[in-house]
Amino acid sequence: MEQSPDPVISLSSITKTFPGVKALSEVQLDLYPGQVTALVGENGAGKSTIVKILTGIYQPNGGAILVDGQEIQFPTAHHASDAGITAIHQETVLFDELSVAENIFIGHTPRGRFGLLDTAEMNRQAQSLLDGIGAQIDPTVRLRDLGIANKHLVAIARALSIDARVVIMDEPTAALSHKEIAELYELVEKLKAQGKAILFISHKFDEIFRIADRYTVFRDGQFVADGLISEVGEADLVQMMVGRSVEQIFPERKPTVGNEVLKIEDYAHPTEFEDIGFSLKRGEILGFYGLVGAGRSEFMQALFGITRPSSGTCRIDGEEKTIRSPADAIANGIVYVPEDRGKQGAVIGLPIFQNVTLPSLGKTSRNGFIRMAKEYGLAREYTSRLDLRAASLDQDVGTLSGGNQQKVVIAKWLATQPKVIILDEPTKGIDIGSKAAVHEFMSELAAQGLAVIMVSSEIPEVLGMSDRVIVMREGRMVAELEGEDLTPETLVRNAAGIEKA
Amino acid sequence: MSLAERHIPDRLTNPLQRALKSWEALLLVVAVTVFIINSLSSPYFLDAWNLSDATFNFTEKAMIAFAMALLIISGEIDLSVASIIALASTAMGAAVQFGAGTTEIVLIGLLVGLICGAFNGGLVTVLGLPSIVVTIGTMSLFRGISYIVLGDQAYGGYPRSFAFFGQGYVWWVISFEIVLFFVLAAAFWVLLHKTNFGRSVYAIGNNPTAALFSGIRVQRVKFILFMLTGLMAGVAAVCLTSRLGSTRPSIAVGWELEVVTMVVLGGINILGGSGSIPGVVIAAFVMGMVTFGFGLLNVPGIVMSIFIGLLLIGVIALPRLWSMFIARRG
Amino acid sequence: MVKQLTSARETILFAAILAILVLVTTRFPGFIAPGNLIDVFNDTSPLIILALGQMAVILTRCIDLSVAANLALTGMIVATLNSVNPDLPIVFIPILAVLIGAALGAINGILVWKLEIPPIVVTLGTMTIFRGIIFVISDGNWINAHEMSPAFTALPRAIFLGLPVLSWFAIVIMVASYVVITRTPLGRAFFAVGGNPHAAVYTGISIGKTQFAAFVLSGALAGLTGYLWVARYAVAYVDIAGGFELEVVAACVIGGISIAGGVGSVGGAILGAIFLGIVKNALPVVNISPFWQLAISGSAIIIAVAFNAQSSRTKGRVILKKAEHAT
Amino acid sequence: EGAQEAAEELGNVEIIYTGPTDTTAEGQIEVINALIAQRVDAIAVSANDTDALVPVLQRAMDRGITVISWDSGVAEEGRELHLNPSSNPLIGNMIVQLAAEHLPDGGDVAVLSATTTSTNQNIWIEEMTAVLPNYPGINVVGTVYGNDLADDSYREAIGLMQSHPDLRAIIAPTSVGIVAAAQAVADAGMIGQVNVTGLGLPSEMAGHIDSGASQSFAIWNPIDLGYAATMLAYNLSTDVAEAEPGASVPMGRMGELVLDETNSGAMADPFVYDASNVHDFADIF
Ligand SMILES: Nc1ncnc2c1ncn2[C@@H]1O[C@H](COP(=O)(O)OP(=O)(O)OP(=O)(O)O)[C@@H](O)[C@H]1O
Ligand SMILES: Nc1ncnc2c1ncn2[C@@H]1O[C@H](COP(=O)(O)OP(=O)(O)OP(=O)(O)O)[C@@H](O)[C@H]1O
Ligand SMILES: [Mg+2]
Ligand SMILES: [Mg+2]
């Protein structure tokens, strides 16, 4: 450590409290020029919170921020970017109604005559930024017309549009496909070469070991350790993160496959997907793999009754059913854990226990009248099975970290005791400890005879958990893989549409 | 995984403590203050008959406010309620001309309210239009139909027995309207706070997408809420028409804003998602008492409205100013 | 892409306006005489000015229900000032009106910004408070034509290049709004704050300050309209422009400005106002019974909004290659 | 003012002058409730709605309060007597006569009223229609409503001039409407062609008489009206007089009010103002 240069930015004894939660308690963090520092920690460890403090979105309750040894404060996001700090945030914080170029430059648009905004100049600069990161996006299109991956690329371009010395990336790869992730790595190398200090937050260990030079570990809002990546192993890092060792990531399973619960034939939608058909048996875990934007979520949402397919049949336990709404799907034992937790999963504003019982109100009430004791009972049962971390059950879900919100959403569905559970990216943005819990839980569910559909973009997860995998590309089923055929190579080949060599 | 059971308590603060710090408690303090100021400033205030007369200042509006509270919690709004009163009242008046009896008149009033509510609800839920805009439109449309029917005429000649709803007394100074007010308050309290339906209203108000993904029939619940609001406007139309004994198209002009003011004063979040019926009940009393108290002091109505406006902003602003003040000192 | 979508919406509205004109002309040919159209535009000018201010507010996810009361209060103040001190040079009057209106708007803005009270609550409150203050200032009395100086009442109706000054005010404000909304950081901020307030914070835009600016703008325009209104009708009293706030909001919504914030265009707001203005002016001319007017304008609002929603309905994403080519 | 004058003359009377937030019947009811609560001796009301106030006023009478209506009346069962500022047939005749005087050859005339529900407006227009046959050549082409709002009235007046190019006069029996119509005529450059007349206040109309937009208009003296209403209320509540058909009730310097079969009576004839006298009164009311 002695040979490293002075840090560009250094945080010391930073404390941040929210009503009822101490998100950060006297933590420290140093970022060095030309180096990538990985910030690791479980869900709710306070990673995103420190990012928001660094970018002027939150004000710390205590501690100091030193830039080049000078103490400084960031009352607004402008102050932080003026000090040369830029960030790609965990949530995509962009404007659907504005154009790509406007999104990239909002807040610091080039000015032309009379101090008015210079649109042409802005579009040109945006184009060159996008080209620079290998994104094929027209800067004049409206953001709402882009897919989720492209939106993320715009967010990256936006961060780079500020001439920064410190670049922060909070889970930048969560929504990106392989190709885009590779390009991101290249970009990181380029930034490093330019001498920028990079803070990289990720739950994916392969990534961290590939690109980071240093690490800092937080646990439950406290600083645990930091050092050089070259001096630690994966197991040590995990140990520091969770305060215990996590040995085996995917549970050993002996699938006991029962009779068929769900049979889908010829599901099609005018614009999103077509020709989808498969069958699913009790106790089975069926994986759905594909690149982001392959239409998996759209199909699952049609299956769950959010959108209506234009044709196709759905049989449950051999009986043909028409699912017109999520209420129908739930009544027929199909439930869906959505991908967009904040928008579609948790009802922020309602307490945890009410979130859990929302789809099971029929069970916790008598003749439509609520029984509180039953509600608390049900909520307690399922949240403790998922090892939820919260101060109390009547706390607003909005005050939980992302991973814990996900647990509440899963608990909500398990409480309905479904026949088929669809999990759309169930471990996206979840820390390694909770991830293992979710995986264990999934196999437990399957062992109890539940049929599980798991949509995932992570190959290890798909391979580790699924008994069978369906690959989708551009709205169609392109392969159904099982046993021997199930290899990383076949998955990627089918998902990307590459011909066999 | 350390399965050392992490115990999560049900609640951190006990319900009583919570109630003491609530909006309703604050409002109750305001209500008691208003009551005391009124009785000190006018010798006429503390008189059973006068207080009874004063309740008419708010009962009809409050009946609509209960349903509007649910609608606003669900994230929608209905600005056409006063116009629904006009249309329902017109329909009742027309029914009288065709020789309808009291029962038929009341049924027609309620039915027209329900239909108007369904019309709003249909435009909002089936066509997916924003309710604030739809109901600005139907606000003109419903009252406009009354004008087409009645023009510069008035309907009168309501049967004697019909007068009971707006002018009748159940016992001594206890009017039918105040009894109905309390019955409806209790019914809406149960509906919002004690039933699955009420729970889904809150869920929809906080996050309609997640509510839909949780199997709640969002559009159906909203449609029912619009019908309920229309129905309550119909109930108010029956009471008001009975109290006035006649119908003109200009009946209840401007009530929509008073109803919304009452709801907001009652602590219902105008953005949806939170609020309670007891709050609305207390707010109704506060507004009624304030207008009556000022009336006794012969303050012109327009000056009174300054006070209502200040009350509306002040009741929300003061606690925030106070906590800002505390934060600055601490 | 942006242009395509907005212009599609505006074209429909424009077509609707033409259709009404044609319909009215079949019954009363004089309506589309240039002179009359100028009159109609002039009559609609206050609505256009107010709709442009309201547009800024609605873009930031707020609503200003106090515009009509602000108009009336500012109108009353400048009229009182003029009657007390008729020698005050006329150029000061509109400037003063803008300042008073902006100050009233700033009250709304501060409450929304600093205390984070929902705008509908704030402006519902200030709406009644402003009206009450007019009563207190005027003691319920009117200020009539002969109490105002001739210059005071003459300004809006003076003809300049064939158009009344009132219309010129509207035209200048239309152009200025276009520049502010499309070509300045403030205009961009209006869209950002309304489109995604959460993200606006991340880009260093202050939500509160932007909303404050929108309220001040709306207030300033309402104040200006207050003077123009009082001078044009040569009378000031408590109830002038009563209920006009809903018409202003209706104009914006008909013009395709999303009440949810972040979506809208200057052209839309103007067309929305003109649409209502023409309906309002056409009805008495074609001899439709006055009792029908309310119902007709109500239906017009509903139909226009339903139309708008239909034309701007998003197709969603297109994943299938086949479907992509088909659309 | 007139009421104060009467109060001073009587010595032992206190006047409470109050009004609702807006001009609706519901608002007036709230005010009347507050007055009942204060156990006033008499209520003199100018009603927003003929019928809607009846129940509450009956309750007032049940509690021993003298109720009279003035200017804009209440249905018979809701008051003891009604004081018309002038007799309705007289006003109906007056307004059309004012128009006819300046149209020796006849011509098209339109009416600009207040709201569709104003009791007094409707009665005057009815009376006017009744006497129309006495004015050959005068052709009433329509009635529009300006809702007693300056802008609506203005727009309606403009609309009238557009849709009836041969319009020669606008009769506005409302003080808001007549001012707005005069302004509209002036702005449209129709002075000399369209004459505005009706009921208005000298203080508001002086300018328009000067400009020629209006040749003449009529009104009663509102000070006298307040005075008379107070006197009547006093005399009824102190049982100096009874309100019954055919009775006459004294009203101080205004003489006596003779009641007809509906217990209503007229105070005095309206007075006509034109260029010769309007400025003498403009400062008074
Ligand atoms: N606005 C807020 N209000 C209240 N509590 C908050 C808020 N934001 C974060 N927290 C709390 O602060 C803690 C840290 O959250 P943070 O989002 O920083 O975690 P994280 O490490 O980024 O987790 P993840 O990996 O799930 O994204 C959590 O306990 C969370 O509940
Ligand atoms: N342009 C967009 N606008 C709004 N939401 C989008 C957009 N693009 C994607 N999404 C949302 O992002 C999610 C992912 O998109 P999509 O369903 O196409 O991918 P997928 O095949 O399910 O892949 P994955 O589940 O791995 O993201 C969906 O929930 C979709 O609704
Ligand atoms: Mg995070
Ligand atoms: Mg997906």
Residue B4 reports pLDDT greater than 50: no
**Reported confidence tier of residue B185, pLDDT bands at 50, 70, 90:** very high
Give the chain C residue whose CA is nearest to the CA of D189: C157
Nearest CA to ligand 1 atom 30: A401
**Which residues of B have a CB under 8 Å from any CB of A?**
1-3, 5-6, 8-12, 190, 194-200, 202-203, 205-207, 209-217, 273-274
> Residue B247 is part of a domain; what is its CATH number?
1.10.3470
How near does any CA of chain D get to the CA of C245, in Å?
Answer: 14
Of B134, B304, B313, Cβ closest to residue C117:
B313
What are the helix and strand counts (H, E) for chain D?
Answer: 10, 12
* CB within 8 Å: B244 and D31: no
Subunits next to C (3 or more Cβ pairs <8 Å) are A, B, D
Residue A499 has what DSSP assignment? P
Task: Assess if residue B121 is contained within a domain.
Answer: yes
Phi and psi, residue A62, nearest 5°:
-165, 165
Q: Is C28 on the interface with D (CB under 8 A)?
A: yes
pLDDT of residue C11: 83
Taking the C-alpha atoms of residue C21 and residue C28, their distance in angstroms, rounded to an integer, is 10
Taking the C-alpha atoms of residue D55 and residue D79, their distance in angstroms, rounded to an integer, is 10
Of A390, A412, A437, Cβ closest to residue B214:
A412
pLDDT tens by residue, A234-263: 888 888 887 765 554 677 777 777 888 999
Task: Assess if residue C94 is contained within a domain.
Answer: yes
User: Which CA distances in Å does B297 have to B34, C130, C132, C245, D233?
Assistant: 14, 22, 17, 31, 21
Residue A2 reports pLDDT greater than 50: no
Give the domain A248-333+418-501 fold: Rossmann fold (3.40.50)
**Reported confidence tier of residue A4, pLDDT bands at 50, 70, 90:** low
Q: Could you tell me the residue range of the domain that residue C63 belongs to?
A: 3-25+39-309
pLDDT tens by residue, D135-172: 888 888 888 888 777 888 888 888 888 888 888 999 99
pLDDT of residue C4: 47
Task: Assess if residue C318 is contained within a domain.
Answer: no
**Reported confidence tier of residue C158, pLDDT bands at 50, 70, 90:** confident
Residues on chain B touching A433 (C-beta within 8 angstroms): 1
How near does any CA of chain C get to the CA of A398, in Å?
Answer: 14
> In A115-218, which residue ranges form alpha helices assigned H by DSSP?
119-132, 148-161, 178-193, 205-211
Number of domains in chain B: 1
- Ligand 2, residues at Cβ distance < 6 Å: A 146-148, 290, 292-298, 339-340, 424-425, 455, 457; C 317
Residue B166 reports pLDDT greater than 80: yes
Mean pLDDT in chain B?
89
Residues on chain C touching D282 (C-beta within 8 angstroms): 146
Ligand nearest to the CA of A294: 2
Q: Are strands A166-170 and A85-88 parallel, antiparallel or unpaired?
A: parallel
Two structure tokens written together for B108: 């027609």
Q: Which of C143, D30, C139, C103 is nearest to B308 (CA)?
A: D30
3-state secondary structure of B58: coil
pLDDT of residue B143: 93
Phi and psi, residue A420, nearest 5°:
-125, 125
pLDDT tens by residue, C119-144: 988 998 999 899 999 989 988 788 87
> Residue C78 is part of a domain; what is its CATH number?
1.10.3470
Taking the C-alpha atoms of residue B273 and residue A82, their distance in angstroms, rounded to an integer, is 38
Mean local confidence (pLDDT), C6-14:
73
Residues 277-316 of chain C with CB under 8 A from chain D are: 280-281, 283-287, 290-291
pLDDT tens by residue, B269-291: 888 888 999 999 999 999 888 88
Residues on chain B touching C123 (C-beta within 8 angstroms): none
3-state secondary structure of A36: strand
Taking the C-alpha atoms of residue B263 and residue B27, their distance in angstroms, rounded to an integer, is 12
How near does any CA of chain C get to the CA of D119, in Å?
Answer: 17
Residues on chain B touching C111 (C-beta within 8 angstroms): 313, 317
Angle between helices B218-244 and B176-194 (to 10 degrees): 170
**Reported confidence tier of residue B138, pLDDT bands at 50, 70, 90:** very high
Taking the C-alpha atoms of residue A332 and residue A328, their distance in angstroms, rounded to an integer, is 6
Number of domains in chain C: 1
pLDDT of residue B106: 96
How many beta-carbon pairs below 8 A join chains A and B? 113
Task: Assess if residue B14 is contained within a domain.
Answer: no
Task: Assess if residue C259 is contained within a domain.
Answer: yes
Give the chain C residue whose CA is nearest to the CA of B139: C298
More confident residue, B113 or D19: B113
Task: Assess if residue B23 is contained within a domain.
Answer: no
Give the chain B residue whose CA is nearest to the CA of D120: B152
Backbone dihedral region of A450: left (phi > 0), alpha (psi from -120 to 50 degrees) or beta? beta
pLDDT of residue B213: 92
Taking the C-alpha atoms of residue A195 and residue A8, their distance in angstroms, rounded to an integer, is 10
Please state the ipTM of this predicted complex. Answer: 0.80
Mean local confidence (pLDDT), A125-139:
87
User: Which CA distances in Å does B72 have to A22, A66, B58, C179, C248?
Assistant: 34, 47, 19, 37, 23
Q: Which of A294, A256, A252, A301 is nearest to A424 (CA)?
A: A301
First and final C-alpha spacing in chain C: 15
**Reported confidence tier of residue A500, pLDDT bands at 50, 70, 90:** low
**Reported confidence tier of residue C187, pLDDT bands at 50, 70, 90:** very high
* CB within 8 Å: C128 and B320: no
Lowest mean pLDDT among A118-122, A352-356, C65-69, C306-310: C306-310
* CB within 8 Å: B202 and A350: yes
Residues on chain C touching A117 (C-beta within 8 angstroms): 183-185, 188
How many A from CA of A339 to the centre of ligand 2?
8
How many A from CA of A300 to the centre of ligand 4?
9
Q: What is the CA angle C234-C238-C243, rounded to 5? A: 95
Residue B183 reports pLDDT greater than 80: yes
**Reported confidence tier of residue B2, pLDDT bands at 50, 70, 90:** very low
* CB within 8 Å: A354 and B217: no
Which mutation among A92, A137, A154, A339 tests ligand 2's pocket best, with the greatest number of atoms within 8 A of CB? A339
CA dihedral C278, C284, C285, C286 (to 10 degrees): 100
pLDDT of residue C79: 94
Residues 57-86 of chain D with CB under 8 A from chain B are: none
B63-72 burial, b if ≥16 CB within 10 A, otherwise e? bbbbbbbbbb
pLDDT of residue B6: 60
Q: How many CB atoms lie within 10 A of CB B36?
A: 10
Q: Could you tell me the residue range of the domain that residue B92 belongs to?
A: 46-318
Mean pLDDT in chain C?
86
Q: Is D164 on the interface with C (CB under 8 A)?
A: no
Q: What residues does CATH 3.40.50.300 cover in chain A?
A: 9-242, 248-333+418-501
**Reported confidence tier of residue A461, pLDDT bands at 50, 70, 90:** confident
Handedness of CA A232, A233, A239, A242 (dihedral sign): positive
Give the chain A residue whose CA is nearest to the CA of C318: A271
Residue A76 reports pLDDT greater than 60: yes
**Ranges of chain D whose pLDDT falls below 70:** 1-2, 19-23, 116-118
Task: Assess if residue C231 is contained within a domain.
Answer: yes
Task: Assess if residue C315 is contained within a domain.
Answer: no
Position C32, amino acid? I
Nearest CA to ligand 1 atom 12: A23
Residue A214 has what DSSP assignment? E
pLDDT of residue C59: 95
How many A from CA of A114 to the centre of ligand 3?
42
Give percent above pLDDT 90 in chain A: 26
Residue whose pair of structure tokens reads 């608990």 in the numeric block: A411
Nearest CA to ligand 2 atom 17: A297
Residues on chain B touching D37 (C-beta within 8 angstroms): 44-45, 47, 49-50, 53-54, 292, 295-296
pLDDT of residue D1: 63
Nearest CA to ligand 2 atom 5: A148
Give the chain C residue whose CA is nearest to the CA of B264: C121
Q: Which of B209, C184, B210, C60 is nearest to A95 (CA)?
A: C60
Q: Assign domain A9-242 one CATH number from 2.60.40.420, 3.90.1150.220, 3.40.50.300, 2.40.50.140.
A: 3.40.50.300
Residues on chain B touching C135 (C-beta within 8 angstroms): 300, 302-303
How many A from CA of B228 to the centre of ligand 1?
40
How many A from CA of C280 to the centre of ligand 4?
50
**Which residues of B have a CB under 8 Å from any CB of D?**
42, 44-45, 47, 49-50, 53-54, 56-57, 147, 151-152, 154, 156, 163, 166-167, 240, 243-246, 248-255, 291-292, 295-296, 298-302, 304-305
pLDDT of residue C313: 59
pLDDT of residue C290: 64
Mean local confidence (pLDDT), A108-134:
83
**Reported confidence tier of residue C324, pLDDT bands at 50, 70, 90:** very low
DSSP string for C124-136? HHHHHHHHHHHHH
